[in-house]
Amino acid sequence: MPQVRIPCVPDAIEYAPKWALALGMIEDALRAKLPKGVVLADADYGTKTVFRDMLHVLGLQYAVGVQSTNKLRVMDAAGVLSERIERHRAVPLVGADGQLLGAMLPGHDEDDTLTGQVLLENLACKATASLALRHLLARPGAIAAGDVRYVINCGEEAVGDRYQRGGGNVAKAVAEWAGCGRATGSDVKAFCSGPMHALMIAGALVRGGLHDDVMVVAGGSLAKLGMKFQGHVKHAMPIVEDVLAGFAVHVSRDDGVSPILRLDAIGRHEVASGSAPLAVVKALYSEPLARVGLNLLDVDRFSLELHNPEATEPAGSGNVPLNNYRTLASLAVVEKLIAREGIDDFVRTRGMPGFSPTQGHVASAVPYLGHARRGLTEGRLTRTMFAGKGSLFLGRMTQLPDGLSLVLERNRANAGTA
C-alpha cells in the first residue's frame, strides 16, 4: 500500500516530554492540597536535571532512577545556577553588585518563543499587572476580588508558544494571581493605544449590561528598562529607565460620583484617516468632540504621551509630550479657536509635563487617569481627554499608526460639588 502524505501536516510535531507532563500533574496535585509523598520515577525521568531540580524547588523528596553513565556532582546554589546557565541556556539574573541571584530557565528546548528571556519578560509583565490589580483591590471600598467577573489586559507582551506566538490571555493569569476566582478575561493588543481600546471595550461591556465591573490592567515592559541607556551614559547621568510600571482601572456602572466615560465621543484613527500629523490629531480630538457639540477649548486637560523628557532628551528623542501638545495646539490654531501666539498658553494650561517612565503603553495617556479622577470628583475639572497612539508599523504588517481617544467627564450627579 503506498504511503499517503497529507501536505498540510508537518512531518514531525514535538509534544511535551513525559517528564514535563508528570511535573504538571505533580504541580496540579500540590495545588489541590494532596498530601506530599515521595516522588518515585524511573530513569527516563530521573536523568532530566530540570525534573529533579523542580521537585527540589517544589519541596518534594524523590527517589528516581538514573543511568549508569550519569555523573553525580554535589553543587551549592551557585553551582546549580551556573549549570542552568551554561548547560540549559537559562538567563542569568544579576544584582546591582554583580552577584548572581537567579536564572530563568527556558520553557522548551527548541521553542524560540519560550526562551528564558521571553519568559522573563512575560513574567515581569504578569507580575506587575497583578501587583497593580492587587493594590487596587486592597483600596478602601474596593470591589471584592471574588466579585470581579472580567479582566482585560492591555500589556505589551505576546504570550504564547511557537505555534501561537500571541496566544494571549495574560488577563486570566493576572486574575488568578489577584485572587479573582470568578473572573475570566482576554487581552487587547494595539501597541501603545491598547489601553485606550481596552478602556473603551470595558466601558462598552458595562454599558451593554454584560458585566457590572470590568478591570483593565497592564504590566510593565522589561525590554524597555535601560532602553535609552546610551544617551544617559553619554551625558554622565544615571540610567533613569530603571522601573517597571503597571496599572489597574476599575470600570463600573454609574455610581453617581465617579467620572463618566463618554462612549459617544470616542476618537478613532481609522484606516483612511492618513498619517499626516494634523490628520491624526483631528481624528483623535476635534472630530469626536464636534460629534457631541464640543471643541478643544471645552476640555480642561488633555492627557497624551506622558514620557518623562528626562529619559528621552539625553537620548536625542526630544520632549515627546511637549511635541504632541504643540501639534494639538496647532490644530486649535487651524480651527481658529486660538491665535498662533496662544500656542504656549494652550500647552501650559491644557497639557502637562511628561512624568511617566518610558514604559510604552503605560506612558500613553493612562498615568493621568488617577489624577483626572480626583480632579473630576473632588477638584475643579469638568472634562478631560485621553489619547493613545500605537506604532503598528513597528510590526511590519502595515505602514499605519493607530490611535484612540476617550473623554472623561464629571458625573452630572456630582456637578454641584467642588
Positions that interact with other proteins (CB under 8 A)? 192, 274-277, 305, 307, 312, 315, 317-318, 320, 323-324, 358, 360, 363, 389, 391, 393-394, 399, 401
What are the respective helix, strand and coil percentages of the chain, to the nearest 5? 40, 15, 40
Give 212's Cβ-side CA count (13 Å radius): 5
At closest approach, how far in Å is the CB of 221 from other proteins? Answer: 11
Q: Which is nearer to other proteins, 146 or 316 (CB)?
A: 316
Minimum distance, C-beta of residue 366 to other proteins, in the bound complex (Å):
14
SS3 187: strand
Closer Cβ to other proteins, 184 or 398, answer by number: 398
Least Å distance, CB 98 to other proteins, is: 30
Joined together, the cell numbers standing for residue 228 give 535609552
Shortest distance (Å) from residue 311 CB to other proteins: 9
Whether the Cβ atoms of residue 149 and residue 101 lie closer than 8 Å to each other: no
CA distances from 274 to 261, 268, 399 (A): 27, 12, 10
Looking at the Cβ atoms of 213 and 305, the one nearer to other proteins is 305
Residues 6+ apart with CB under 8 A from 280: 269, 273, 274, 389, 401, 403
Complex with other proteins: residue 122 or 364, whichever CB lies closer: 364
Q: Which of 386, 389, 367 is nearest to 218 (CA)?
A: 367
Task: Name which of 248 and 328 has its Cβ closer to other proteins.
Answer: 328
Residue closer to other proteins by CB (options 130, 358) is 358
- Return left, alpha or beta for 69; rule: phi > 0 is left, psi -120 to 50 is alpha, else beta: alpha
Place of cell 487617569: 369
CB 363 to other proteins: min, Å? 7
Burial of 32 (0-12, 13-18, 19+ CB in 10 A): exposed
Closest separation between CB of residue 275 and other proteins, Å? 4
| Sign of the CA dihedral running 230, 231, 235, 238 | negative
- In whole angstroms, how close is the CB of 228 to other proteins at the nearest point? 8
CB closer to other proteins out of 375 and 403: 403
